[in-house]
Amino acid sequence: MRILVDVGNTSVKWQLRSDGVVVDGASGDLGALGSWLASLEQGGDYTAAVSCVRGEHCMSELRSMFRSATLIEPHFATSTSEFHGVTNAYASPEMLGVDRWLAILAVIARGEDSAIIIDAGTACTIDVLENGHHIGGYIFPGVVLARDALIANTDRIRFSEHVAISTAPGASTAECVQSGVWLTLYAAAREIIARAPSARVFITGGSAGELAALGVEGDCVQGLVFDGLDFWLNGS
C-alpha cells in the first residue's frame, strides 16, 4: 500500500493506492492529514512518498506525523538532474519545484516525451518537455494571487462583487480585473502552445476547468503529482 501526499502552497492532498489503484484519499490541512494517517490500520504494509513545496519546518512536522501514526519514514521526492532518461533544464536541478518535476515524470509515465504541462493553481506554472528533455518553463501569478496583488497594491482598484469568468472587456472594475487576469493566463498559454504545435497539452490545478472553458485546448487531468510520486517511487 502506498501513501502519497502532495503538500502545495495552500492545500494538502493525499491518496492511498493499492497496486496502482486509488482506494482512498482526500484534501485538507496538515491536521486533517494527521487525523487520516491515524485512522489507517496499524501495522499495515505501507510505503509513503511526499511532495512538499513548503519549507523544512513543514517537512519536519510531516516526518513526526508519519512516525506517530504509521511508524514509517516517508520518502520526500526531490528534483534531480535526470530521472528515467528525463533531463531537468535547471542548472541547479533541486531549485525546480518538486511538484513541477513530478508532473513532468507523470507525463513520461503516460508515454509522452513531448508535452506542455499547465498547472493553474496559486501560481500558474507552464513547463515544456521536448523529446524527453525539460527545456524550461514559466511561472505566473495564479488568478486569485494576481487579483489580490492588484487590490493590495493600488488605491483605487476596489470591488467586492463576484463576476463571471471571461476574457471580454469589462464594464466594471471587478469585470476588468477578472478579464485582465484570465486573459493574461489564456494568452500566455495559447502562445506557448503555438510554439510547440506537436506537443500534447496537459492542464491541471484548481483553475484547469476554467482555462479549458475559456478555450485553452488540452487534456484536463488531476493528480499528476500523485502519478509522478508513484512513478518516482518505482524508480527510486
Residue 160 pLDDT greater than 80, yes or no: no
Q: In degrees, to the nearest 5, what angle opens at C-alpha 100 toward C-alphas 95 and 101?
A: 75
- Give the H or E element holding residue 124: strand 123-130
Closest CA to 217 of 118, 77, 91: 118
What pLDDT does residue 158 have? 73
3-state secondary structure of 69: helix
In the chain, % of residues over pLDDT 70: 100
Q: Quickly state the pLDDT bin for 88 (edges 50, 70, 90).
A: very high
Query: Alpha carbon of 186 to those of 143, 181, 209: distances in Å?
Result: 11, 9, 12
**Residues 191-216 pLDDT 10s:** 999 999 999 999 999 999 999 999 99
Residue 10 pLDDT greater than 90, yes or no: no
**Residues 102-155 pLDDT 10s:** 999 999 999 999 999 999 988 999 999 999 999 999 999 998 898 888 888 887
Grid cell listed for 36: 487520516
Residue 161 pLDDT greater than 80, yes or no: no
Q: Which residues of 64-84 are buried (b: 16+ CB within 10 A; e: fewer)?
A: ebbeebbeeebebbebbeebe
Supply the DSSP symbol for 134.
Answer: E
Report whether 142 contacts 121 (CB < 8 A). yes
Is-same-fold flag (2-76; 82-143+165-231)?
A: yes
What pLDDT does residue 156 have? 74
Q: Quickly state the pLDDT bin for 175 (edges 50, 70, 90).
A: very high
Region 179-183 average pLDDT: 94
Q: Is 99 a catalytic residue?
A: yes
Domain residue ranges of the chain, discontinuous segments joined by +: 2-76, 82-143+165-231
Residue 226 pLDDT greater than 90, yes or no: yes
**Which one of the listed residues 6, 99, 119, 230 is annotated catalytic?**
99
Report, at the CATH architecture level, how domain 82-143+165-231 is classified.
Answer: 2-Layer Sandwich (3.30)
List Cβ neighbours of 60 (8 Å cut-off, separation of 6 or more).
none
What is the rounded CA–CA span in Å between residue 53 and residue 98? 7
What pLDDT does residue 30 have? 95
CATH class of 2-76: alpha beta
